[in-house]
Chain A
């Protein structure tokens, strides 16, 4: 199985900050990576797919980059509604495991 290591596990930031979350795969997954946002008590929501493609309706302050084994999610200017937990997921091969998650908190 492909292992995903996501870091940091938690992050404190302020409104307006630029933040980056990383995800490393244990083997080459091309660009078969998605990023999800989850707020407490709600279902996850896809933000980025195919490593860098913005899902329809997602604000442009979210962006993704990377290919192969190293990927990043960047939020260019944090908004109050962005404080949530973020997960990466690979869909290159089964099992479609997730990273451990990054909890983004208000500083």
Chain B
């Protein structure tokens, strides 16, 4: 069974940094693009970033370029999201999602990890 489990969330002070992880299982991880999607409390879904299966190509939401870094370790079947200079508006549940191989919609989602930015 395909499974995605996020970790690394927590309470962080403004200006701090955080690395989120997403452990994948049940599929050939290196063959699929992966994304991060976040959802602020009471708000809609916001696509954050994506990375190709090899890790050679990365993409970011226009408003988030510069503070976010996406990476993956295919030997560990793990996806990462590093966030710098955290702001209150980064408070959200962060989901990782697997893209379908041919159409890049997100066919499998993790339950998410919660990031709270507050002093």
CA distance A50 to B100 in the complex (A): 11
Return the 8 tightest CB-CB contacts between A and B, nearest first: A34-B105, A43-B109, A94-B59, A91-B104, A101-B44, A98-B45, A49-B105, A96-B47
Instruction: Assess whether B103 is interfacial by the CB under 8 Å rule.
Output: yes
* Majority-rule SS of A interface residues: loop
For A44, list chain B residues within 8 Å (CB).
37, 45, 95, 106, 109
With beta carbons under 8 angstroms apart, the residue of A43, A49, A50 that contacts B95 is A43
Given contacts A49-B100, A50-B103, contact A96 B109 (CB under 8 A): no
Say yes or no: B44 contacts A98, CB within 8 Å. Answer: yes
Residue from B62, B99, B104, B109 within 8 A of A45 (CB atoms) = B109
- The digit string for A62-78, where 1 denotes a CB below 8 A from any CB of B, is 00000000000000000
Contacts of B73 in A (CB 8 A): none
| A96 / chain B contacts, CB cutoff of 8 Å | 35, 47, 50, 59, 104
